[in-house]
Amino acid sequence: MNLRQLLFIFSTILIFHQPIKAQQLSQEATFSILTCNPGEAVYSMYGHTAIRVNDPAQGIDVVFNYGVFSFETPNFLYRFAKGQTDYLMMGQKFSSFLPEYVDDQRSVYEQILNLSPEGKTQLYQALIENVRPENRTYRYNFFIDNCATRVRDMIEHNSGSPVRFTDNHPTESYRDLIKKFHHSFRWFDLGIDFLVGKKAEEPVSSYGQMFLPEYLMGQFAKAEITIDGKALPLVRETRTLLEYPNSKLKSDLPWPAIVFAVFFLIVSGITVRSYLLKKKNYWLDYGLFALSGFAGFIIGWFTLFSEHPAMSPNYNLFWAFPSNLIFAGLWTMKKWRAMTRYYLWLAGVVLLLSLVTGQTFNPAVYFLMLTLLVRVGVNLIPERK
């Protein structure tokens, strides 16, 4: 467990070890949404959302955080890959929350909520109940149940008054939305595009877009709450607690598309030269088809067994054809080469079909497809006499 998780747990013990009934909120208590900008670590690339309860009269200044997890959890990587990661809701003192973002130089914004006294009491009691050890664990689901959507749902269902969010005609998909946060993680973006399938192309409503902290902040700024029959802005005031340059605007080089474009040109050059010299260079086929087949087995596992949303169907399997790995093995055997040559027709057809599936591929993938098509084509062309 890393230092931050230890701080969360330690803070939780300090705050909530005392009898819960003894804590009553004063009239001056405020509830707010904390929105934290993306960080430079992969797990923080989308930002973070939490709830702050501040009551100076009672000495309460607490952050309720739904984004706690530990890499020390047994089988963490396997459970994460399978979509069976459990997150925790914990509380910590605000005085220990903000310095973490100062250290990471991540901006933090606070939206003070318009809530009735009854709404404050109801929401606080719901948070206290949720933070209890028997209630704080939940099954994490990035698109529909994460640290941001939990905050939205807690406010919407426990504010004591009807909350109304604006909506629009959705045009952006899950893939469109998350790609806006991948500027500093180009190779991670390639991996995400490998694994996230066709369902990620579906348009997402404004309500659904709140799985991203930045979009939740925007939707809360436009939301309304009805108190005593009167419609009021849900957000009474917005404050900037920390301000730094947005890390998501950074970009690393070389991009995967550039790397694979150069790779395509190299393979094409070798292929053309070998064809003119009446050479075969089968070693290129062994490597390319073995790697694409191996990638297909990984993508296929996620497609079949992962509980993460939008993993299936995944038409990356059309270029990363799992049987390519078997073909690569047979292609190394000269006696099988004449028979297995017919497999190249199947591989070529499947590669071309991938272009009409409607799934958006990473730009680097198109260069991978072209590279495979070059090798398929040269092996199907009759030998020059």
Query: How does pLDDT run across 12-38, given as a tens digit for each residue?
Result: 444 443 333 336 899 899 999 999 999
Is residue 150 located within the same domain as residue 271? no
In whole angstroms, give the CA distance from residue 313 to residue 353: 15
Are residues 312 and 284 located together in one domain of the fold? yes
Domain match, 62 and 26 both: yes
Residue 200 lies in a domain: no
Model-level pTM? 0.87
Q: What is the pLDDT of residue 2?
A: 42
Residue 335 lies in a domain: yes
Q: Would residue 81 count as lying in a domain? A: yes
The DSSP secondary structure of 205-260, one letter per residue, reads -TTGGGGSHHHHHHHHHH-EEEETTEEEESEEEEEEEE----GGG---SS-HHHHH
Mark whether 115 and 225 lie in a shared domain: yes
What confidence tens digit (pLDDT) does each residue in 327-358 have?
A: 999 988 988 888 888 999 999 999 999 989 98
Higher-confidence residue: 345 or 3? 345
Q: Is 22 exposed, middle or buried (0-12, 13-18, 19+ CB in 10 A)?
A: exposed
Residue 5 in this model has a pLDDT that exceeds 70 = no
Q: Say yes or no: 210 and 280 in one domain.
A: no
How far apart, in Å, do the first and last CA atoms of the chain sit? 66
Q: Which of 211, 204, 197, 206 is nearest to 145 (CA)?
A: 211
The residue among 199, 235, 242, 196 whose CA lies nearest residue 217 is 235
pLDDT of residue 9: 43
Rg, the chain, Cα only: 26
Angle separating helix axes 256-276 and 186-195, nearest 10 degrees: 80
Q: Is residue 120 part of a domain?
A: yes
Q: How far apart are CA 17 and CA 72, in angstroms?
A: 24
Is residue 341 assigned to a domain?
yes
Tally the domains of the chain.
2
- The answer to the question of residue 90 being in a domain is yes
Domain of residue 122, residue span: 3-168+205-248
Say whether both 240 and 139 belong to one domain.
yes
List, for residues 85-119, the tens digit of each pLDDT value: 889 999 999 999 999 999 999 999 999 999 999 99
pLDDT tens figures, 249-282 = 666 667 899 999 999 999 999 999 999 998 888 9
* Same domain, residue pair 211 and 270: no
Average pLDDT over residues 199-212: 94
40: pLDDT confidence band, cut at 50, 70 and 90?
confident
Answer yes or no: do 87 and 18 share one domain.
yes
Sheet holding 163-164, edge to edge: 163-164, 224-227, 230-233
Residue 349 within a domain: yes
Q: What is the token pair recorded at 361? A: 């591929």
Residues 115 and 240 both lie in one domain: yes
Same domain, 104 and 148: yes
Q: What's CA 219's distance to the chain center, in Å? A: 19
144 and 12: one domain?
A: yes
Taking the C-alpha atoms of residue 302 and residue 197, their distance in angstroms, rounded to an integer, is 10
Q: Which of 248, 274, 302 is the last residue of a domain?
A: 248
Amino acid at 306: S
Residue where a domain stops, chosen among 248, 277, 309 = 248
Q: Is residue 303 part of a domain?
A: yes
Please indicate, yes or no, whether residues 333 and 295 belong to a single structural domain of this protein. yes
73 pLDDT tier (thresholds 50, 70, 90) = low
Q: Of 185, 215, 248, which residue constitutes the final position of a domain?
A: 248
* Residue 206, pLDDT above cutoff 70: yes
The angle at the Cα of 67, spanning 35 to 139, to the nearest 5 degrees, equals: 135
Side chain identity, residue 101 = Y
Token pair belonging to 104:
């990471």
